[in-house]
Amino acid sequence: MASRGSWLQHEQLIAFIHRNYGVDERGCWYFQNGPQRVYVELEKAPYIWRLEGSDRLRSHNGVETVSERVYVDENGNVYAATAIGCGIVHTQDMHRVAEWIEAGLWSPQEKTLLEIQQREGYVMSPQQLAG
């Protein structure tokens, strides 16, 4: 899918979006802009995880958490589900994924992306859900 927006480079705007990132009761992700919600079209999952330390995850918006479930999809992408939501593991952290699996910290379940989305309750396209 082609991008329909422009690249964000303004640090304060990015920080504002990160602070106000959330999910509604349907599993649609958005950022709150005053009284208005701006819904997000997801490519794979609501979060992008970076792996830290021996068991910590840090999201693209700076939230730290731990994994509860780990998946591998049909394309070999690795996802971690947490108390705050599901996310895809950044490709630069695949070496850590391998280390965590070898150490017994992670035991990934094989699922399709659709199965992961359904299991973790998030909507990839709020626009398609609405219409």
Note the pLDDT tens digit of each residue in 88-130: 999 999 999 999 999 999 999 999 999 999 999 999 999 988 7
* Beta strands across the sheet bearing 64-66: 64-66, 56-59, 47-52, 85-89, 78-82, 69-72, 109-110
Q: Which helix (H) or strand (E) holds 109?
A: strand 109-110
Answer whether 122's CB lies under 8 Å from 82's CB.
no
**pLDDT tens sequence across 37-52:** 999 999 999 999 999 9
Name the band, by pLDDT with cuts 50, 70 and 90, for residue 4: low
pTM over the 0.85 mark:
yes
Instruction: Name the residue with tokens 């939230």.
Output: 63
Q: Which of 26, 27, 28 is nearest to 37 (CA)?
A: 28
